[in-house]
């Protein structure tokens, strides 16, 4: 399981013309990728890591300041472009595996106390954000 975590001043995700998730205050934008071997235990570990990660201003975590989190599913985090010019997606879990884990990740964050905004799994989304810093971290569970 991989997550790209960005500290943002604001962020939104739209499907077509409809805004489906939005952060109107500083928080975290999380792009979440799932691979074949990921489990519910991985979801809980990664959610706790994101919620407690001290990347907000003054070395605070989202849990310290009740910062909101916008979570967007992104299978392309498992793209492999080491050979040729066209990435392969073989390491990305199929939708029937990754969608329940995406839902569980959002629920785990909410269970920890986060206000969670979401994209729409599998949709063609447009993401807008104002990165703060910029500050971006890649988290990957072993």
* Active site (catalytic) residues: 74-76
Instruction: Decide: helix, strand or coil at residue 101.
Output: helix
* Three-state DSSP class for residue 93: coil
Instruction: Give the span between the Cα atoms of 62 and 85, in whole angstroms.
Output: 38
Give dist(CA 48, CA 44) in Å, integer: 6
Angle between helices 40-52 and 95-111 (to 10 degrees): 40
């Amino acid at each position: 399981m991989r997550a790209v975590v960005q500290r943002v001043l604001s962020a939104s995700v739209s499907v077509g013309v409809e805004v489906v998730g939005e952060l109107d205050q500083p928080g975290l934008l999380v792009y979440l990728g799932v691979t074949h071997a990921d489990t519910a235990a991985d979801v809980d570990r990664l959610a706790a890591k994101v919620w407690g990660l001290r990347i907000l201003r003054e070395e605070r975590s989202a849990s310290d300041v009740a910062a909101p989190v916008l979570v967007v599913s992104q299978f392309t985090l498992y793209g492999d472009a080491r050979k040729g010019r066209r990435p392969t997606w073989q390491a990305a879990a199929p939708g029937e595996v990754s969608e329940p884990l995406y839902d569980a990740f959002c629920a785990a964050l909410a269970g920890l106390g986060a206000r969670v905004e979401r994209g729409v799994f599998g949709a063609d989304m447009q993401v807008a954000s104002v990165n703060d810093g910029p500050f971006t971290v890649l988290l990957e569970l072993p």
